[in-house]
Amino acid sequence: MDKLFGTDGVRGTANTHPMTAEMALRIGAAVGQYFSRDGSSVHRVVIGKDTRLSGYMFENALTAGLTSTGMNVLLLGPVPTPAVGLLTRSMRADLGVMISASHNPAADNGIKFFGPDGFKLSDQMEADIEALMAQGVPLAASNRIGRAKRIDDGRFRYIERVKSSFPRQQALDGLKVVIDCANGAAHRVAPEALWELGATVIPVGVSPNGHNINDNCGSTHPEQAAEVVRREGADVGICLDGDADRLILLDETGKVGDGDQFMALMAHRWAQEGRLAQKALVATVMSNLGLEQFLQGKGLRLERTAVGDRYVVERMRAGGFNLGGEQSGHIVMSDHATTGDGLMAGLQFLAEMIRSGKPASALLNSFDPVPQLLKNVRFATGQAPLEAAEVKSAIAQAEADLAGKGRLLIRKSGTEPLVRVMAEHEDASLMTRAVDSVVEAVADAVSTG
């Protein structure tokens, strides 16, 4: 059997391998068997989803697989990914499942898993589950089949948890906030939480129809929200992705502030307050060199990991760090949550606006980024363009050209059939030539492969 799990669970186009109802049923059965191996009679799993049409299909298939192995299933309906991590732990469940393809288009879907501690499963646990699928899963006796039950107040529990991370002595009175929910999982919880804290809320992307999640809205397409910020004279914009585990911020002019700028702000602030564990921030290899240089200037460290918020979390747990994230907007604050939480991060930014009295534009400009360029090349299943001799030669030459004042990063996406080519250098023209040379070599290898 082909490897199913990528950097963030199982993901693909709905009704195409591996994202079929049959595969979801098999995954559910294998996961149910894995987490009920102790033989006790009480095992439960919580399942959340975003607003994709295919979510109903996968919810039913996973429920069938899980209950067939004796697991009791608690169905949360549409909730953000971090809500699943939270409720898995608070409801004493053995397992949490989120049905979502995050920022991907509506045609895609995915399945993410959380252990009983609320953290995403390790690579080894995923490998063990795949091994169970390959060898076959024994089903529960007919009198041990699990039950399924709808949980109606999951989103309200999550709202209260998110609000508890906001300073009790503060309120959002007087702040006008544009919140873009990407027609996704946070389309109800995010505006409600902001309103309950006192903000004047201007919602965008809160009319999901099963097909419009992430469609020209949300963290990957903030242009619409930026226009609303300018038109309404808002103080700030918060753009979430489809499952609300990440955010992109907009200042009062509509200018984008990415995860690197947010992490720079919070790391410096927490360090001043003595709250930044180990005097370090955890981020991935994609974070800008400017962030690293900013932290060094403040006497702080940047710990880099592979791309993927789960790797950030693993490093944070192993090293005792409490702040980490990705340039793309996954922000992990382990004092409050077990995974990236876009709404919670947005509230922390709003709290800093109130505390400092500064506009969003000032807070999202901690450092000047080193010029960075990222280009993607799509390839077909079965192709291995990075193994081509011409590609290896182009990469070696680009690395030599950028040596000293920049860097080159080449990697395969863990969620899509893409080769990502990223470079940073103080000389933007040199950087562009280096990226284009590698992209051209990869494209040639793909076309002839």
Q: Is residue 356 assigned to a domain?
A: yes
Report residue 208 as tokens.
């999901």
Q: Are residues 429 and 321 both part of a single domain?
A: no
Which CATH number do you get for residue 405?
Answer: 3.30.310.50
> How many degrees, rounded to 5, is the angle at CA 286 between CA 376 and CA 419?
25
Q: Are residues 47 and 147 both part of a single domain?
A: yes
Q: Looking at the 3D structure of the chain, how many domains does it have? A: 4
Q: Are residues 271 and 229 both part of a single domain?
A: no
CA distances (Å), 249 to each of 80, 222, 346, 402, in order? 18, 9, 8, 31
Q: Is residue 60 assigned to a domain?
A: yes
Q: Is residue 421 assigned to a domain?
A: yes
Provide the pairing of β-strand 176-180 with 200-204: parallel
Q: Are residues 214 and 348 both part of a single domain?
A: no
User: Which residue is it, tokens 């949300």?
Assistant: 218
In the listed set 253, 274, 303, which residue is the last one of a domain according to the structure? 253
Please state the φ and ψ torsions of residue 433, each to the nearest 5 degrees.
-65, -40
Nearest to 282 by CA among 259, 250, 298: 259
Count other C-beta atoms under 10 Å from residue 289's C-beta: 20
Q: Is 84 strand, coil or helix?
A: helix
Predicted structure pTM score: 0.90
- Domain residues for the domain of 346 are 257-363
- Calpha distance 246→103 (Å, rounded): 9
- Calpha distance 364→236 (Å, rounded): 11
Provide the annotated active-site residues: 102
User: Ramachandran region of residue 448, left (φ > 0), alpha (ψ -120 to 50) or beta?
Assistant: alpha
- Calpha distance 193→80 (Å, rounded): 13
CA distances (Å), 80 to each of 97, 99, 293, 430, in order? 11, 10, 33, 41
Q: Are residues 285 and 412 both part of a single domain?
A: no
In the listed set 130, 152, 174, which residue is the last one of a domain according to the structure? 152
Q: Is residue 4 assigned to a domain?
A: no
CA distances (Å), 25 to each of 28, 58, 64, 266, in order? 5, 8, 6, 42
Q: Are residues 77 and 104 both part of a single domain?
A: yes
| Amino acid 97: pLDDT | 98
- Calpha distance 51→368 (Å, rounded): 37
**171-210 core/surface letters (b: 16 or more CB in 10 A; e: else):** ebeebbbbbbbbbbbbbbbbbbbbeebebbbbbbbbebee
Strand order in the sheet with 418-425: 372-378, 418-425, 406-412
| Amino acid 416: pLDDT | 78
| Amino acid 176: pLDDT | 98
Q: Are residues 292 and 218 both part of a single domain?
A: no
Chain centroid offset of residue 68 CA: 30
Which CATH number do you get for residue 274?
Answer: 3.40.120.10
Provide the pairing of β-strand 95-99 with 108-114: antiparallel
- Calpha distance 234→196 (Å, rounded): 18
Q: Are residues 391 and 271 both part of a single domain?
A: no
Report residue 270 as tokens.
């927490």
Report residue 334 as tokens.
């382990």
| Amino acid 413: pLDDT | 83
Q: Name the residue type at position 38.
A: D
Q: Are residues 359 and 263 both part of a single domain?
A: yes
Q: Are residues 219 and 243 both part of a single domain?
A: yes
Q: Are residues 264 and 179 both part of a single domain?
A: no
Q: Is residue 110 assigned to a domain?
A: yes
Q: Are residues 172 and 220 both part of a single domain?
A: yes
pLDDT tens across the length of the chain (449 residues) = 568 888 788 999 999 999 999 999 999 999 999 998 766 667 999 999 999 999 999 999 999 999 999 999 999 999 999 999 999 999 999 999 999 999 999 999 999 999 999 999 988 999 999 999 999 899 999 999 999 999 999 999 999 999 999 999 999 999 999 999 999 999 999 999 999 999 999 999 999 999 999 999 999 999 999 999 999 999 999 999 999 999 999 999 999 999 999 999 999 999 999 999 999 999 999 999 999 999 999 999 999 999 889 899 999 999 999 999 999 999 999 999 999 999 999 999 999 999 999 999 999 999 999 999 999 999 987 788 999 999 999 999 999 999 878 899 998 887 778 999 999 999 999 999 999 999 999 999 988 86
Q: Is residue 175 assigned to a domain?
A: yes
- Read off the DSSP letter of residue 278: G
**95-123 core/surface letters (b: 16 or more CB in 10 A; e: else):** bbbbbbbbbbebbbbbbbbbbeebbbbee
Q: Is residue 5 assigned to a domain?
A: no
Q: Name the residue type at position 347.
A: L
Q: Is residue 3 assigned to a domain?
A: no
In the listed set 97, 120, 152, which residue is the last one of a domain according to the structure? 152
